[in-house]
Structure 1
Amino acid sequence: MAQASRSKASLRLIGDSLNPKEISALLGCEGTTMYSKGDVRVNKRTGKQYERKSGHWSLVATECEPEDIDGQVSEILSQLPSDLILWNELASKYSIDLFCGIFMEKSNEGMDISSKTLVELGSRGIMLALDIYDGAE
């Protein structure tokens, strides 16, 4: 089995009451993308405005080619506190996931995620979400 061609990963916290500045202060790190429920976004292509339906804080890892989810998780978590009490508190208030895009060039590409990575995510209450894109035409 060939390794998947490319991967993207971002840690996301989402919730109606989420205050992105508060999350940044708690985690000691500015998010890559941050907004509060009710913030207005303007679509660059159409100019249409719409309100954000929930608060959002995310931190994006460097894109990897070939895929390296283990490395991307390590990159993200190395910037954040390891205090499991803090993570438990955040997980009780917000939806938390590691959202990953896995991109294949051909069929039968795959990937492994180490048990260490799975424990790091699970102990923090972080769900692993995978979007897998088939490279076939």
Structure 2
Amino acid sequence: MAEIAQSSASLRFSGDDLDPIELTRLLGGEPTSAVRKGDLRTYPPNQPPRIALHGFWRLSSGYEKGDQLDHQIATILKTLTSDLAIWADLVRRFKVDMFCGVWLDEGNQGLGLTAPTLKLLGDRGIKLDLDIYYEPPESEDGLEPE
């Protein structure tokens, strides 16, 4: 089986009543980005600021070459609180997911997550959300191969 080209993972929280300062304190880790509902948010960075329609808190791994997804997810979760009562409260109050991107450079690729990483997600009640990207190469005539 061929290798995964790259992967990324982001733990995301969203909700109308989300207070990024409170969430940061409860989780015990700093977000990659966060905003309170009604505050100005600049995303993507080259766009003008706009008012956030809901609160948002995200901790991202960044992009890594190859199949690093299991490591990225585990690293994010291990840097935050292990108190499952806090996690239960947060998943009750907010929409929470681990959003992952996987980029393929060839067809018929696969990836897997280890049981300990799946347990970290499951114990915390975190939904795993995968986006898998593949753009087949163009043939010499500019058309996609059949």
Relative to structure 1, the CA distance from residue 46 to residue 136 in structure 2 (aligned partners, 3 Å threshold; closer, same or farther) is same
Which 5+ residue runs of structure 1 have no aligned equivalent? none
- C-alpha distance in structure 2 between counterparts of 1:90 and 1:73, whole Å: 18
**1:4-25 CA-partner distances (Å, limit 9, x unpaired):** 2110111011111000011011
2:121 equivalent in structure 1? 121
Q: Give the partner amino acid of 2:70.
A: D
Shift of 1:50: 2.5
- C-alpha distance in structure 2 between counterparts of 1:82 and 1:2, whole Å: 35
2:55 equivalent in structure 1? 55
Q: Give the partner amino acid of 1:5.
A: A
**1:12-66 CA-partner distances (Å, limit 9, x unpaired):** 111110000110111111111000111123565453x421111011111142210
Q: Which has the larger radius of gyration?
A: 2
Segments of 4+ in structure 1 off by > 6 A?
Answer: none
- C-alpha distance in structure 2 between counterparts of 1:108 and 1:55, whole Å: 38
Relative to structure 1, the CA distance from residue 54 to residue 46 in structure 2 (aligned partners, 3 Å threshold; closer, same or farther) is closer
1:79 equivalent in structure 2? 79
- C-alpha distance in structure 2 between counterparts of 1:116 and 1:79, whole Å: 15
- C-alpha distance in structure 2 between counterparts of 1:126 and 1:120, whole Å: 9
Q: Partner of 2:96: helix, strand, or coil?
A: strand
2:96 equivalent in structure 1? 96
**1:85-132 CA-partner distances (Å, limit 9, x unpaired):** 110000000011111010001111111111221111011011000010
- C-alpha distance in structure 1 between counterparts of 2:23 and 2:30, whole Å: 8
How is 1:1-137 mapped onto 2 (pairs within 5 angstroms)? 1-42=1-42, 45=46, 47=48, 49-137=49-137
TM-score, with length taken from structure 2 = 0.86
TM-score, with length taken from structure 1 = 0.91
Contact residue 4 and residue 103 of structure 2 kept, 8 A = yes
Contact residue 107 and residue 135 of structure 1 kept, 8 A = no
Contact residue 2 and residue 106 of structure 2 kept, 8 A = no
**Identity fraction in percent:** 38
Which 5+ residue runs of structure 2 have no aligned equivalent? 138-146
